[in-house]
Structure 1
Amino acid sequence: MMIREIFLVCLLGACTCHQLHIANRCSHTVWVGILGNSIPDGGGYMLSAGSSRTTNVPNHWSGRVWGRTGCYGNKCETGDCGGGKIQCNGAGGAPPATLAEITFDAGGLRDYYDVSLVDGYNLQMSMSPRDGYRSGSGHYYCSRAGCNTDLNKNCPNELAVYGTGGVVACMSACLAFNLDKYCCRDSYNTPQKCPPFSYSQTFKDACPEAYSYAYDDQASTFTCVGNSVGSTSYDIIFCG
């Protein structure tokens, strides 16, 4: 659908205005999970290796996309949303899982997006604008967010999650140890009191364009301004 057609659909009130073009470039199947202030496509679907699918979301949509792996029987090895379901239907994914997060039309035509490892990592993942945005400059303006490094290969032993074939995910320090100093809570609940630490720095060194821990906002949040209401669309790519 062309941008002008999307805009007309919005004016008519049947708005599925923004688009997420989700592609699987991994060598294995990925089961997509989607969660937000509305639930498009039943909250998920299966993408075989090399396949892609477009998900439409309304104006002001805010949510996340993640990949589930090893989904057989009634459970996924990573990112499971309960019962091994193809459609998550409003259920979130079990951490650790790499997340692509976006808020459309925040304060006008501005989108905010990031790829987060705050809850840990399971898959390489990237997110970048495709079209419908205004030109601009700056490292965090309409640029690619993501993690291109396979953290599972270098995950510290104490953070590693094992499954079929070895390490299938890498926990965050907060998830692994549940300590305030890693979770940035209670007496550590400000950026000053919760600066980067050794585990978060390991994630940041491997994936500089991804959120490494709770207060990594300044070096992880990307933004893009649309040409008009509902014009922007994004690519979300697993293993790419």
Structure 2
Amino acid sequence: MNMLICLLLVLALAALGEGRTFVFENQRGETIWVGALGNAGVAPPNGGGWEMAAGSSLTLELDDAWAGRFWGRTGCSFDASGSGTCQTGDCGGVLQCNGAGGVPPVTLAEVTLGGYGGNDYYDISLVDGFNIPVTMTPTDVSGGGDHYSCNPATCPANVNAQCPAELQQVVNGAVVACKSACLAFNTDQYCCRGAYGTPDTCQSTTWPTNYPAFFKGLCPDAYSYAYDDVASTFTCSNTGYRITFS
């Protein structure tokens, strides 16, 4: 093996270990506070939370094997020490969530980098309900013939504006989020637990009200309930991602 080939291999291996670039964009026209939570044993980036003014962006480098979730918090107020509250997505009354998840209902952008077969798996989840529109887009590759391969995973609709009254989370007379059926009613069937804890026994078409169909109708690419995998999971590899809150 000549020296040039050896050098190319070294550079390629080095590139594989450089991690992934994640760009966060706030296109909402108002300040949001991003929350971040790593999966078990995985540290959250940037302390697990940060403020983003309207129109701003932030770039982070994540490890090639990072896995976790991001969400946007709204209606927050924090003091100089980082203590405070948020109307949606609150994570224990602190700016930097540092291992705490967001209180539902909240729209989640979920990702597992370098998972099975070396692929990334990513999705937008409304399983815990919805608070603001979110899109997750691969930045270094473009989608192919398969809709779920390297294309944007997105929930662009203002779900709050059409949320059924029984699912609405209201603050000061305004609908700030839309609850999942599980969160609103807490039954085994709506939560896919107990006797309904498998894909065969928990099918939203058999529920008293098919609430996932409401969410799916507005955001076809997003998870609408626990067993909505086939029409919600996207895959890609060797790419960074842009997460846009709108």
The answer for the alignment partner of 2:115 in structure 1 is 106
1:8 to 4, 7, 14: 14
Q: Which of the pair is proportionally richer in strand?
A: 1
The answer for the alignment partner of 1:59 in structure 2 is 64
2:106 to 89, 94, 97: 97
Separation in structure 1 between the aligned mates of residue 23 and residue 172 of structure 2, nearest angstrom:
29
- Larger RCO, structures 1/2 (Cα 8 Å, 6+ apart): 1
Separation in structure 2 between the aligned mates of residue 79 and residue 23 of structure 1, nearest angstrom:
17
Counterpart amino acid of residue 237 in structure 1: T
1:205 aligned counterpart, secondary structure? helix
Residues paired across the two proteins, number = 225
Q: Is the 8 A contact 2:142 2:151 kept in 1?
A: no
Q: Is the 8 A contact 1:134 1:224 kept in 2?
A: no
Separation in structure 2 between the aligned mates of residue 5 and residue 102 of structure 1, nearest angstrom:
27
Structure 1 residue 109, shift from structure 2 partner: 2.7
Counterpart amino acid of residue 34 in structure 1: A
Alignment of structure 1 residues 210-225 onto 2, 5 Å: 210-225=222-237
Separation in structure 1 between the aligned mates of residue 204 and residue 11 of structure 2, nearest angstrom:
45
Separation in structure 2 between the aligned mates of residue 103 and residue 53 of structure 1, nearest angstrom:
20
Q: 1:209 to 1:6 in 2, by over 3 A?
A: farther
Q: 1:5 to 1:151 in 2, by over 3 A?
A: farther
1:45-75 deviation digits (Å, cap 9, x = unpaired): 1011100001211121100000000001421
1:218 aligned counterpart, secondary structure? coil
Q: 1:6 to 1:145 in 2, by over 3 A?
A: farther
* Contiguous gaps of at least 5 residues in structure 2: 1-9, 79-83
Structure 1 residue 107, shift from structure 2 partner: 2.7
Counterpart amino acid of residue 76 in structure 2: C
Separation in structure 2 between the aligned mates of residue 45 and residue 225 of structure 1, nearest angstrom:
27
Counterpart amino acid of residue 126 in structure 2: L
2:179 aligned with 1:179: no
2:198 aligned counterpart, secondary structure? coil
What TM-score comes out, normalization by structure 2 length?
Answer: 0.86
1:19-43 deviation digits (Å, cap 9, x = unpaired): 2111000011110001101211110
2:135 to 126, 151, 166: 126
1:152 aligned counterpart, secondary structure? helix
2:204 to 192, 196, 214: 196
Root-mean-square deviation (CA), in Å?
1.9
* Contiguous gaps of at least 5 residues in structure 1: 227-231
